[in-house]
Chain A
Amino acid sequence: MTGEPLNGDSPVLEKPVPAPSLHDPERFAEIFDGHFAEIHRYAARRLEDRDAAYDVASQTFLEAFRGRHRFDGSRGTVRSWLYGIATNLIGKHRRTEQRALRARARLGAAPPAEGHADRVNARVSAQGLRGALAGAIAALPDGERDVLLLVALADLSHEEVAAALAIPYGTVGSRLSRARKRLRKALGGTNPMLDLEEDDG
């Protein structure tokens, strides 16, 4: 019951959530089993800190459990609801997230020649997040970063992001569009056509 493959490469299943009855602790445990590893992964990617990731993930399910009577199945899925709670909790760890991103920003854009140890490390650490990209993500307004990462990391649709963060649907699109432009600019995107490109993400 408490088991979950620990090697992290099990498929994340897209499962329809048939308005589960959240009221019973034992049934809520199944929600936990179905989503804990995924929420933990999201927090760990953003915070890069084992303890903070555990705190966010466990607190997410505590808050969800506490607020399970308020869950409204017509507004979104259990999954997007959990991501919304986790995102708010990550907001309380802004300094941890900023520290990780700023440290990555200082790494510079070009990966150095990798030794054996680096190759081993690369399997579990974000070697690709560095330099200007990390700096640009760090510099985003919090609201834009949350939307960007819910789309990029959690793979939520615009509707789901709107439900998760309790913001209007249109705001999701505009925040995402602004975030993308900022990243493009920070990375030296010089093609003016890209700026005309409408938000499609």
Chain B
Amino acid sequence: MDEIRMVREAYGEPAPPTLREMTRARALFTDEAPPRRRRWRLKAGIGLVAVGAAASVAIALTGPGGGGGTPGAPHAQVDLDREAVLAAASKAEQVPAGKYWYSDHITGQSYIMRTKAGTYAIAGAHTEFFRWAGARKGMGEGFWGRDLPARPLTAADEAVWKRDGSPKSFRVWSNDHYYTYTAAATDWKVDRPSAIGGGTFGRLTTRQVHDLPSDPAALAARFLKPKPGDAKGLALNTPRLKVLTVGTLLEELPVSPAVRAGLMRALARQPGIHPIGKVTDLLGRTGVALASDPVRNTATGEFGAPKAEQGTFSSRAVIVFDQKTGALLGQHEELVEPGGPYRAQRPGFVINYVLVRGLGWAESQPKPPARLPF
């Protein structure tokens, strides 16, 4: 009897970390610390920040509806802050806490194919997750996942891919080895469903979620400020990490519309976070977005990366909201200064992404959708 082998074989195969988890864990130490501010400026700035926040997410109105405003006039701009609050407030009374919270999201990572037909990007590590939980313990919970087909990232990438002969598999460099992604999807797989689960979201119970404040400053203090136990000298509260944090909270927690609006306002007020106007995501949905200050990334050949994958580029985190409802559409990392593996890509190129396909309360036990998103 070989106990070692028996133990090795008995332990099962767990679900791998999600792209979002990896992005977050990595950002803990890769982000550059924001420039230090003098204390007096922070103190003096509190009142100003509060005033400025109201206008911090402004986007220009375009199209027929905006004809009445003269350029630059205050009413010619829609304030996402206000929009979100109004939309949320109008829904607050209509949206009671339902029975089951669910979240359906897609994650993907861009990889570069360098072929004779040209260079194009594909979405690989392409996965859809569906998670649901009952409002109370004992109502059950489930976590599902399936692989989505790897595919050309955009229409322009698709054109080059067709010239390349429309291959169905893609051999790309991934961190420290070559990996081949294919255009095949897998069926939904469920990860440890629990009939007795429910009642917790992220690390919070339904009660704790219910008790969250809607005040942006209180939410920022709770979620966006360093905690006493946090590591010194690490960039734990960089703008980029704050974008990831708010995106995760909005997706995982069944917060009320008022708290949702509060989280958006809290993020919009943070230094290093900027409104960038309209953004169309990979599912073709247009929303309004906030972005972090960019961070530099460098890949060396230390773990065997080929020349074409080496070099330095900068990127930023972007979070996108539905303009009409304030609903979270997703978040992504986008290229700011091309270089390294993305030297042939343009600013705005999406490096990795989380697309929220569905999110909210349901009256009966939710099921993952059969239809593929792309």
Using a CB–CB cutoff of 8 Å, the interface residues on chain A facing chain B are: 1-8, 10-11, 13, 15, 18, 20, 25-30, 32-34, 36-37, 40-41, 44-46, 48, 50-51, 53-54, 57-58, 61-62, 65-66, 117, 120-130, 133-134, 137, 148-149, 151-153, 179-180, 183-184, 187, 189, 194, 201
Contact = CB atoms under 8 A, between A and B. Distances in A.
B175 interface: yes
> In this complex, which of A29, A45, A53, A133 has the most chain B Cβ atoms within 10 angstroms of its Cβ?
A29
Interface stretch (B21-29, B39-47, B71-79, B262-270): B21-29
Interface string B148-183: 000000000000000000000000001111010100
A127 B10 CA distance: 7
A126 B22 contact: no
Contacts of B143: 50
Interface in B17-41: 17-19, 21-26, 28-30
Nearest to A8: B16
23 contacts: A2-B23, A3-B110, A3-B125, A3-B174, A4-B19, A6-B147, A7-B147, A27-B298, A30-B303, A32-B26, A36-B25, A58-B24, A62-B29, A65-B234, A117-B190, A121-B192, A126-B10, A128-B9, A129-B11, A129-B12, A130-B10, A152-B8, A153-B7
Interface SS of chain A: helix
Given A2-B23, A62-B29, A37 B234 contact: no
Interface residues of B, number: 66
A8 B13 contact: yes
Contacts of A153: 7-8, 11
A124 B12 contact: yes
A1 B175 CA distance: 6
Contacts of A15: 176, 303-304
B289 to A, nearest CB: 20
Contact of B297 (A1, A18, A128, A189): A1
Contacts of B10: 126, 128-130, 133-134
Interface SS of chain B: mixed
A137 B7 contact: yes
B193 A5 contact: no
Interface string B176-202: 110101000010011111000000001
B303 A41 contact: no
Contacts of B2: 201
A95 to B, nearest CB: 16
Contacts of B14: 8, 41, 44-45, 48, 53, 124
Contact of B125 (A6, A34, A44, A152): A6
Contact of A151 (B4, B6, B203, B296): B4
A62 B234 contact: yes
